[in-house]
Amino acid sequence: MEKRFLEKISQGDILSYGEHLEGKLHISSLEILTPLKEIAQKLEKKLILVILGESKESFKDFEVLKDSLADEIWFVFHPELKYFREDLYSRVLVKLIEMAKPLGFFFPATFSGLSLAPRIAGVLNLGLCAHVNKLEVENGQIVMFRPTYGENIIAKLISKTIPVMATLSLGAFSVKESKEEPQFKEILFPENFSWESSVKVRKIIFTKKEVCSLSSAKVVIAGGRGLKNRENFSKLFELAKLLSAEVGATRPVCHEGWVEEERMIGISGVTVKPKLYIGFGISGALQHTAGMEEAEFIVAVNTDSSAPLVKMANLALIGDAPTVLKLLIERLRKEGS
C-alpha cells in the first residue's frame, strides 16, 4: 500500500466514512458511495472512502473495496483504533478534516455514523444534516434532501458551512460497482497526535443476536401497535423464519421496547424495498410509509378498513392482527410438515 504524508493529501474532495466490524465492511458504507459518486463527478471532485482500523492485516475486505465506486480509499491504521471509541475516532476524523480540508464529509446513518457525525460537527462548529435520502448538485453546490414535518414536506438543504456534513439513510441507496480500481492509501498522522481515549476496552462480548439485514431483505414482515403487546409482536419472528423474511417495526413499538430500534422502518429508521411487505396492525403514517412505499407488493392486516396502509396495500385483510398472525403461522407450519 502506498504511503502518503500529510501535506500531500488532496484537498477539496468528498470524504465518506467506511464503517466496518472486525475488518468486514458494513453494507451501508458501500451504499452511500452511489449518490456520492454522482455528486463528486458533477463537481469534478474525487470520492474518498475513509476507513479507520488497527492494522492492514486486520482489515479483511480489500477485495470488496476493489469494486467500489470510491476513487481513493484512505486508511488510518493505529493499534489504538482496534475498537470503535467515539472520542478517539471523532478526534482522528477531525484531524483528517483539518488536514484534507474536504468539500464534504458523509456518514452512513449507522450506529457509529450517527455517533461520530454530530461530535465532529460540534467540535468544528459545522452544520449537519441528518437522514438525507437524496443528494444533488445545483449551481455548483451540494443540495441535500430529507423528509421533514412528518414527511409532509421534503426539505431541501444547503449547508452554510464547509465541509458539508450529513448522515445518509440506511437502505435508501443501492450498491453499484465500478470497473476502475480505487487507489489505496495509508494516511500517516503527525508524531505528536494523541491516540489516548477516555474509554478503556476490557473485553468485547458479542451477543448471540443475529445480524439484522432489513434494508436488503426480499420479504419484510412488520408489526405496529395493533399487535397489542410484546408477546404477539415476538410471533413475527416465527413467521419470518417460515418465510425467510426480516422483521420490521413502527416507531411506537420500538419505543415500547418490543423490539430493537434497528428494526424501525421509516424516516427515523431504515428504508426497505422488498418484493413483499406485510404490515400487521400498522396504521400507515407517512413517517412509516416513507420507508416502505417502494415495496413491490404490500399486504396490510388491520381492523380499520380506512387505515392509510390498508388504502395503499395491494391486498388488505380486515381483521385482528394477532389472530391472523397466529393462523398464518399454523397454516404455514402445517403446509411445511
In the complex with ligand FAD, which residue's Cβ is closer, 163 or 279? 279
| 314-333 residues near ligand FAD, rule: CB under 6 A | 320-321
| 226-285 residues near ligand FAD, rule: CB under 6 A | 226, 250-253, 264-269, 281-283, 285
Q: Does 166 bind ligand FAD (CB under 6 A)?
A: no
Among 35, 108, 224, 274, binds ligand FAD (CB under 6 A): 224
Nearest to 313 by CA among 278, 285, 281, 264: 278
Q: Does 225 bind ligand FAD (CB under 6 A)?
A: yes
DSSP letter for each residue of 64-128 = HHHTSS-SEEEEEE-GGGSS--HHHHHHHHHHHHHHH--SEEEEESSHHHHHHHHHHHHHHT---
Of 48-56, 67-75, 195-203, 298-306, which segment contacts ligand FAD by CB under 6 A? 298-306
- How far is the C-alpha of 110 from the C-alpha of 29, rounded, in Å? 9
Handedness of CA 144, 148, 151, 152 (dihedral sign): negative
Q: 212, 301 in Cβ contact below 8 A? A: no
Q: Does 90 bind ligand FAD (CB under 6 A)?
A: no
- How far is the C-alpha of 264 from the C-alpha of 249, rounded, in Å? 5
Among 9, 166, 298, 307, binds ligand FAD (CB under 6 A): 307
Among 141, 213, 229, 303, binds ligand FAD (CB under 6 A): 303
Q: 197, 88 in Cβ contact below 8 A? A: yes
Least gap, CB of 213 to ligand FAD (angstroms): 18
Name the site residues for ligand FAD (rule: CB under 6 A). Answer: 150, 224-226, 250-253, 264-269, 281-283, 285, 287-288, 301-304, 307, 320-321
